[in-house]
Structure 1
Amino acid sequence: VNDIFIFNEIIGHLGLLELPFKGRSYTWSNMQDSPLLEQLDWFFTSTNWISVYPFTEALP
Structure 2
Amino acid sequence: YSYRPAIDTNYFPNTPAAWFWSSSPSAYHSNYAWRLSFDYGYDHDNSRDYDYHVRLVRSGQ
Fold match, TM over 0.5?
no
Q: TM-score, normalised by structure 2?
A: 0.25
Structure having the higher strand fraction is 2
Q: TM-score, normalised by structure 1?
A: 0.26
Structure having the higher helix fraction is 1
